[in-house]
Structure 1
Amino acid sequence: MRSFILGFVTGVSCLQTAATLPSTKLMAACTAAAALLLLASAQAIRHPAARIATIATAGLLAGFTWAALLAQTTLAPSLAPRDEGRDLHVVGIVETLPYRFDQGVRFDFRVERSLDAGVRVPPHVALSWYAGRHGARQAVGDVQPGQRWRLTVRLQRPHGNANPGGFDYEAWLLEQGVRATGYVRAGDDNTQLKAFVASPGMLVERVRAALRARIQDALAGRTYAGVIVALVIGDQRGIDQADWQVFNRTGIGHLISISGLHITMIAGLAAWAVSALWRRSFFTGARLPLLLPAQKAAALAGAIVALLYVLLAGFGVPAQRTLYMLSVVALALWMGRLAAVSHVLCTALGVVVLLDPWAVLWPGFWLSFGAVAVILFAGHGRIGPPPAGPRGALVLAGRTQWAVTAGLVPLTLLLFGQVSVVSPLANAVAIPVVSFVVTPLALAGSLTPGPPGDWLLLLAHWVVEMLAWLLRLMAGWPGAVWRAPAPQGWVFVLGLGGTLWMLMPRGWPHRWAGAVALLPMLMQVPDHPQAGTFRVTAFDVGQGMALLVETEGHRLIYDTGPAYAPGSDAGGRVILPYLRMRGIAALDGIVVSHGDTDHTGGALALLEGVDAGWLASSLPADHPVVRVARHHVRCAAGQHWAWDGIAFDMLHPTSASYADAALKTNARSCTLRISNGHRTLLLAGDIEAAQEAALLGRARDRLRADVLLAPHHGSGTSSTLAFLQAVRPEVAIFQVGYRNRYHHPKPEVYARYGTLGAERLRTDDAGALVVDFGTSVVWRGYRDEHARYWYAR
């Protein structure tokens, strides 16, 4: 059984790396082959190793086919391209807990019917309802789970930013079954039709909404109210990005939700209480143990409480894993069978992947099951018997925490490019505080009405504040985080083997050699271009600009992308994850071309997340980005520097332009020319026709470039014919958002580049672009190199 499950998970994982889905004939062949292999293993194969291999292969084929079948079914309902961006009229039900923010609310909507003839709307869509959009103001509806609404919406097919090391939004939408996203249009047709449509799922969501409202009312204006909400109902969207950075640097992010430890604790308390009351029922004359053994009653109570708590958690992977493990144990107890821990873990693994094949795409899946597997591996005599008494419990907890920290080092480096060095100490404090103090107080306060409940919630919040203060201190320690590039395959396997060697039982020969095997992984350094060449990564940040320029020994960020929402921006969501994946902890410089938010939105997060030598910009001295920079320099034409034989020249703006208060921010965009003597890149920010003309008059001989970052994203106010004729780009890069509201690049501008023979690359189509400049120019797109079947091109 275990061999089949492990093979099944492997097959599912293989499907999730496929660029296209297999044909129906191939799926049928895989199913038949799996059945024949299982039959052969049961009747013809007697050698244990061959039998295990046969069963695992059958599981692999079954997993591959199952994941493909679910993918086909989920992808089938889709929005026609002709219906993107049109006003559509739908009736449906709010099916998830809404997320409210300053400008409006977001929620998932189950479409019951479309009111437009001939229009097919997918059954599940994700909507935003803004108070103001495109200059229009509207009242935002008080949407609650279970309500039926008639809405006028504009939709588009699923599309997200595609970057190395970044979050795959399109895969996440597919996992949720959401096949279109959009927003509610202003109008009188938006009407609530029914206050509540009863169903078990809607009832759960209503309870979650009520508990969240209870917490938010009691902790209004409190910094860590979002943490309390996450611990009670698993909704992490209210936690600030800066707090997540602290939690991740200290390695306690797994605690800031309804974790497996919390579920086990609550289920265990319920089981203990039921067992105690059940055994004492003789005093009431009920004599319940004669009807059902107390042990079975306790197991049933624990499983039911675990299920209820997991439903509150929104059914995340760690919560699912714990629920299935507890359920298997309870079932084994009811049936009078002794369940081995490896069988329990594999059963939970199989159920999670069977119900959600896309779970294997997320770090939480691997970390969750990996942590339990490490504990089981290290627990069977490998971490040594603890002393007796309370001291023994502390020693065992410390050894277990050390085993988990060490055991997950290879996986953490592979997934995040960093390891929290202070994690063992931070978890030693945070685990008991969060699990045994904050979580019980938060649950009790949420369920207790009136002032007593408010006091409990305030006490829980105060404890979180004290814990966060301590964690911030730890996160600020020098060397709190060890960074290294995501390891290559052989380096990862070597490090994983070394970790297992270190966790072997006492007396195992040369356990120290395991640490030596980890060194190649820990001592990796970021790769870099060869001497005399440079590389540019144009990130897919949506409607904005952000590029990384690398020479043999230096790195520069040009613009930092947009701000997406309060606490969410391209710096934190795109650039920093990429830098961590590459093991890059410092930048030599940052250039912020001008003050528009689609260029400055990620600057603060970037400056906080990496060590930057200097900042060059056209921003005013009182701008928040300038105030936090270590050293700021105004962009000015004539500035020049060289890194590793690569020349950097600032062509615009002129120093005199800063005295003209009438100029728009676009007019002062820092325009940077980069050349290795063979090939040249021109980064033009958002300059417009007037600035292009000024450059033609002032620096025409410096404008020739092989690659041009299209000025102002291909706006109709830029890329004049005279300017393009002077630049004569072979390649033009358009950093634009999918179906952006500015309609960039403008069709006539895009055609102008094509007429001049330039190869046109768009980040909304190709994803992040990597361009290498040597004696020639070579480029590659992330969506081509990392093709997946759910990418709609």
Structure 2
Amino acid sequence: MRSIVIGFVAGAAVLQNQATLPSSTLLALLIALAILSALRSRSVQRKAVRIPLLASCGAIAGFAWAGLFAQHYLGNALPGDWEGRDITVVGTIDSLPYRFDQGVRFNFAVERILAADDAAPVVPPRLALSWYSAFHGEDLQGVGDVQPGERWQLTVRLRRPHGNANPDGFDYEVWLLEQNLRATGYVRPDRRSSLKNERLDAFVPRFGNAVERCRAWLRDRILAALPGKEYAGVIVALVIGDQRAINQSDWKVFNRTGIGHLVSISGLHITMIAGLFAAAAFALWRRSFFTQAQLPLILPAQKFAALVGAATALLYVLLAGFGVPAQRTLYMLSVVAAALWLGRITSVSHVLCAALGIVVLLDPWAVLWPGFWLSFGAVAIILYASTGRGYAPTSGLTTKEKLLATLASASRTQYVVTLGLVPLTMLLFGQISLISPLANAIAIPLVSFLVTPLALAGSVLPAPLANWVLGFAHLLVDWLAQALQWMSAFPAAVWAAPIPPWWAFLAALIGTLWLLAPVGWPARWLGIVGLFPIFLNKAAHPSEGEMWVTAFDVGQGMALLVETPHRRLLYDTGPAYSTESDGGNRVILPYLKARGITSLDLVIVSHTDNDHSGGALSILDELEVASVSSSLPSGHAVVTRARNHQRCEAGQSWSWDDIRFEMLHPTADSYEVARLKPNARSCTLKITIGMHAILLPGDIEAGQEAELLDKDREQLRASVLLAPHHGSGTSSTARFLQAVQPDIALFQVGYRNRYHHPKAEVFARYGEMGIKRIRSDDSGAITLRFGPALDVREYRTDHARYWYER
């Protein structure tokens, strides 16, 4: 069974890396073939032959099963011709709503469609919707007080799933696919439709609706008991698994100290609560609830306790939103309970594999997320390291000796998990929390045995008792957070390196397994040699005579990383998406950290517009930035935060590694002209390497293009042009393009952006002049490698996945 499950998971993982999906017929035939082959393989007597055969059958079945799953979900897509059109739908609020400053987000289960005309749109069964109080600067009607399980009539404008596509970034599109959310959109205001946005029913009785309504009720009680408290979001996360109210600054501390796994409903919490209820049920059942019913004669107390424990785990996992760590724990506890009921002794490895197989069977996309591998990897490494190590009996020991034995066991487990997950953590995140063992030694007992039980009890107790209990739980979290902030401030709290190549990861994995091998394994200390490749891994950089430029997919905005052999420059920083999310922390920083880049020599912020400067503060907070150049006013937050700042002015120039950098615009005099828009002062940079050059003009428009033409037309010649102002109708004049004569034009634009960039006539103008056009909304991140030749790579092509197909 174990070999089949491991093969099944491997097959599902292979499927998730495919550019296209096989046909449904072929996938169904593969499943049938796998089942027949597995039945025949079980009769093979030689273990060395049978196990690989069974694993192969499992891999074929996993590949085909994941493919059929994907085919089914992809079939619910919104037709392209219904993007951007108003549709009135009736359905239910299908998730826990998330309220933010501008409105509310929620999932919506469509029941029927009320089209305003004779057309019959095809709408996916589940939608991800936002309802804004204001949209694009326009005041709209008030946002409805939506609650889980309510039936609403809403007029919505939808689009197909689309997310930013960048190396080492979060893949929003596959996350939507996993949730079966095949369209996103927003609620339209009433005044634009004859059909009102209104609540039709207060509650639609369904199991899922009841669960989500309970989660909402618990969240509201907690927030009401802790008004304005800084860590109320942590208490909510521990009770119902909703982490969205935790501040990004707190997440930074939790991740640096390695205790992020505790700030949710973790497997440890579920096991503890299930164990407490099972123990109480066992004691009460043995005593027949203090009656004369003699209940143990009807059903053994162990079986009743197992049933109660499994039911408690299920309830808690439902409250948790069914995350992978919670699922893993639920399935493991369920397998143990089933084995007890059936009178069959089962090994821990069988239990783990059973849970692993069930998770991937129900959710083949689980293999794409770090939590899946860390969750199962932690349990697997503990099992591996404990092989051959007996547990010393504690009978006859004093209380002090028992306590010391318990501490020794807990310390060894923490050591095993910390060391055992080093290769996987480096592969997934490119960093390790060195302070994690100490932080977890404090946080695990505090959160698991005090904060979580108090939070659960306080969420259901009547007021004012609930307020006191939740207040004490919050006080403990506050004390813990202060300690963690102190720990995370240590310069050596986190060790970072580039994400290792596959061979370095494999060497580190073998070395770790060697170090943690069972007692009696020879020269275990030699395993440290396997870790050398990841510890010595250095950030890649261009060779002499080369330059790399990465144009990030930040949506409607600009952000480009320029790398020479020994220097790095960031031109613009993308937009701010919300108060805590921007192009810097969501796109640029994950990429830089994965590459092992911890400093920048220069950041240029072309002008004040949000889509260019929105991510700058996140960059300055996280990285060592030697200098900032911009056209920003002196009081701007980016200017005051920068270590060194200078205005960008025409005539500035410098050389890095024999590569020429020239600032062409704005002129020094333009800063004195108050009537100029920020676009008119965009820092325009030309970079020349050998026979090639790239021109980065920011958001200059026709007037500034004319100024540059009048000043020095020949100076504009470049092989690559970043389309001015995203290809707007006020830029990219024919005269300007004729002077630049680019071979390639980059358009950094958002999918279906509200400005309709690039304008159709401007985009056509580039094509008519024979210029190759590359759009970030179609191609994702774009990488240019300048050298003797110019190499262009598009992320959605090089990293093609079946869910990118349109």
The TM tier, using the shorter chain, reads over 0.9
User: 1:59 maps to which residue?
Assistant: 58
Q: Which residue of 1 aligns with 2:108?
A: 109
Superposition map of 1:68-83 within 5 A: 68-83=67-82
Name the residue aligned to 1:119: 121
Paired position in structure 2 for 1:723: 736
Partner of 2:422: 409
Distance 2:31 2:464 in 1: 60
CA distance in 2, matches of 1:674, 1:563: 27
2 CA distance for matches of 1:118 and 1:217?
44
Q: Distance in 2 between matches of 1:61 and 1:620?
A: 61
Q: Distance in 1 between matches of 2:289 and 2:611?
A: 71
Q: Tell me the amino acid that sits aligned with residue 165 of structure 1.
A: D
Partner residue, 2:397: none
The aligned runs of 1:160-239 (5 Å cut-off) are 160-187=163-190, 189-239=196-246
Partner of 2:12: 12
Q: 1:295 is matched with which residue: 275, 290, 302?
A: 302
1:129 paired to 2:128: no
Is the 8 Å Cα contact of residues 552 and 559 (structure 2) preserved in structure 1? Answer: yes
Aligned to 1:153: 156
The share of aligned pairs that are identical, in percent, is: 64
Moved over 4 A (4+): 382-388
CA distance in 2, matches of 1:171, 1:386: 49
User: Once the two structures are superposed, what CA deviation does each residue of 1:154-197 show, in whole Å capped at 9, x if it has no partner?
Assistant: 00011000011000100000000010000000015111111100
1:573 counterpart = 2:575: no
How far the C-alpha of 1:429 sits from its partner, in A, is: 1.1
Match of 1:683 among 678, 696, 699: 696
Partner of 1:3 in structure 2? 3
Matches within 5 A, 1:27-42: 27-42=27-42
Partner of 1:356: 363
1:445 corresponds to: 458
1:445 offset after TM fit, Å?
Answer: 1.3
Given candidates 594, 599, 612, the residue that maps to 1:586 is: 599
Hey, what's the Cα distance between the residues in 2 that align with 1:386 and 1:686?
A: 73
Which residue pairs with 2:620 in the alignment? Answer: 607
User: Counterpart of 2:456 in 1: which secondary structure?
Assistant: helix
Alignment deviations for residues 60-103 of structure 1 (CA, whole Å, 9 cap, x no partner): 11111111111111111121111100011111111000110000
Cα shift at 1:698: 2.1
Q: Is the 8 A contact 1:594 1:617 kept in 2?
A: yes
**Deviations 1:323-347 (Å, cap 9, x if unpaired)?**
0000001111111111100000000
1:659 paired residue among 672, 679, 689: 672
Q: 2:785 matched to 1:772?
A: yes
Q: What is the Cα deviation at residue 41 of structure 1?
A: 1.3
Is 2:340 the partner of 1:333? yes
Of residues 376-385 and 482-491 in structure 1, the stretch that sits farther from structure 2 once superposed is 376-385
- Which residue identity is paired with 1:152? T
Q: d(CA) in 2 for partners of 1:545 and 1:384?
A: 59
CA contact (8 A) 2:573 2:613 kept: yes
- Alpha-carbon deviation of 1:621? 2.0
Question: Alpha-carbon deviation of 1:409?
Answer: 0.7
Contact 1:77 1:123 in 2 (8 A): yes
Contact 2:284 2:290 in 1 (8 A): no
Secondary structure (helix, strand or coil) at the match of 2:190 reads coil
Q: Distance in 2 between matches of 1:773 and 1:7?
A: 43
Question: Residues 271 and 301 of structure 1 are in contact (CA less than 8 Å); yes or no, is this contact kept in structure 2?
Answer: yes
Alignment counterpart, residue 655 of structure 2, candidates 636, 639, 642: 642
> What is the aligned counterpart of 1:462 among 468, 471, 475?
475
Confirm whether residue 755 of structure 1 aligns to residue 755 of structure 2. no
Q: 1:382 to 1:660 in 2, by over 3 A?
A: farther
- CA contact 2:90–2:114 (8 Å) conserved in 1: yes
**1:386, distance to aligned residue in structure 2 (A):** 9.7
Corresponding residue number in structure 2 for 1:501: 514
**What residue number does 1:322 align with?**
329
1: CA distance, partners of 2:540 / 2:390: 37
* Closer, same or farther: CA 282–649 of 1 in aligned 2, 3 Å: closer
Q: CA deviation at 1:307?
A: 0.4
Q: Aligned-pair distance for 1:507?
A: 4.2
1:681·1:706 contact (CA, 8 Å) conserved in 2? yes
* Residue equivalent to 1:697: 710
Q: Deviations over 1:606-659 (max 9, x none)?
A: 111221111111112221222222221211111112111111111111222222
Could you say what secondary structure the match of 1:450 adopts? coil
Question: Which ranges in structure 2 are unaligned for 5 or more consecutive residues?
Answer: 395-400
Matched, 1:306 2:313: yes
Matched residues, number? 792
Distance in 1, Cα, partners of 2:487 & 2:14: 39
1:435 deviation in Å? 0.9
Contact 2:24–2:71 at 8 Å: present in 1 too?
A: no
- Counterpart-to-counterpart distance in 1, 2:590 and 2:414: 26
**Aligned pairs (5 A) from 1:361-380:** 361-380=368-387
Q: Distance in 1 between matches of 2:184 and 2:338?
A: 41
Provide the rounded CA distance (Å) in 1 between the counterparts of 2:325 and 2:427: 19
Conserved? CA contact 1:383–1:399, under 8 Å: no
Match of 1:90, SS?
A: strand
Contact 1:707 1:731 in 2 (8 A): yes
Distance 2:749 2:148 in 1: 34
- Say if 2:406 is the partner of 1:393: yes
Per-residue Cα deviation, 1:739-761 (whole angstroms, up to 9, x for no partner): 00000000111111111211000
Query: TM (normalized to structure 2)?
Result: 0.96
- 1:84 partnered with 2:83: yes
* Distance in 1 of aligned mates of 2:431 and 2:769: 45
Cα deviation, 1:460-483, whole Å, max 9, x if unaligned, reads: 112112211111121121121111
RMSD: 1.4
Name the CA distance, whole Å, in 2 between partners of 1:702 and 1:472: 51
Kept after mapping to 2: 8 A contact 1:98/1:105: yes
1:282 positional shift: 7.1
User: Amino acid of the residue matched to residue 5 of structure 2?
Assistant: I
Q: 1:729/1:384 Cα in 2 relative to 1: closer, same or farther (>3 Å)?
A: farther
CA distance in 2, matches of 1:637, 1:250: 46
TM-score normalised by the chain length of structure 1? 0.98
Report if aligned partners of 2:42, 2:54 keep a CA contact under 8 Å in 1.
no
Q: 1: distance between equivalents of 2:712 and 2:336?
A: 75
Residue 709 of structure 1: aligned partner: 722
Query: Amino acid of the residue matched to residue 125 of structure 2?
Result: P
CA–CA distance in 1 between the matches of 2:298 and 2:24? Answer: 53
Residues in 2 aligned to 1:517 and 1:592: alpha-carbon distance in whole angstroms: 43
Structure 1 residue 382, shift from structure 2 partner: 5.4
Instruction: Single out whichever of 617-626 and 66-75 deviates more from structure 2.
Output: 617-626
Question: Which one is further off, 635-644 or 355-364?
Answer: 635-644
Measure, in 1, the Cα distance between the counterparts of 2:557 and 2:13: 33
Letter in 1 for 2:20: T
Deviation at 1:33, TM superposition (A): 2.2
Please state if 1:528 is matched with 2:528: no
Of stretches 424-433 and 198-207 in structure 1, the one that deviates more from structure 2 is 424-433
Aligned AA (2:121): V
Structure 1 counterpart of 2:180, which letter?
A: G
Give the 3 Å change call, closer, same or farther, for CA 282–647 of structure 1 in structure 2: closer
For 2:99 and 2:448, locate their aligned partners in 1 and report how far apart those are by CA, in whole Å: 28
In the alignment, the residues of structure 2 paired with residue 137 and residue 605 of structure 1 have an alpha-carbon distance, to the nearest angstrom, of 31
CA apart distance, 1:383 = 9.8
